[in-house]
Amino acid sequence: MAVKLKLTRLGSKKRPFYRVVAANAETRRDGRPLEFLGFYNPMTKPAEVKLDGEKIKAWLAKGAEPTDTVRALIKEHMA
């Protein structure tokens, strides 16, 4: 089972809000995740990001692969 760290979209039309989740790679974007890891709100200035570093490190240690966007968020906000 390949696990990805990816974003799921919430919010209304033209007002996106994203959750960072660990989910099976084959599930659809808004499918059931394995675990919630944080959130990303691009509508605020500056963008609001809250990540659970311990959970993310645990999933990366288990072999989870982050998407490009999630990798950028981790690099920017957990360094």
- pLDDT, residue 56, reads 96
- Total-model pTM: 0.90
Q: Hey, CA dihedral for 16, 20, 21, 27, is it positive or negative?
A: positive
- CA 45-46-48 angle, to 5 degrees, is 105
Condensed to tens digits (0 to 9), the pLDDT of residues 14-55 reads: 999 999 999 999 999 989 999 999 999 999 999 999 999 999
Q: Where are the domains of the chain?
A: 1-18+26-40
Decide if 40 contacts 73 (C-beta within 8 A): yes
Half-sphere exposure of 32 (CA within 13 A, CB side): 0
- pLDDT, residue 78, reads 79
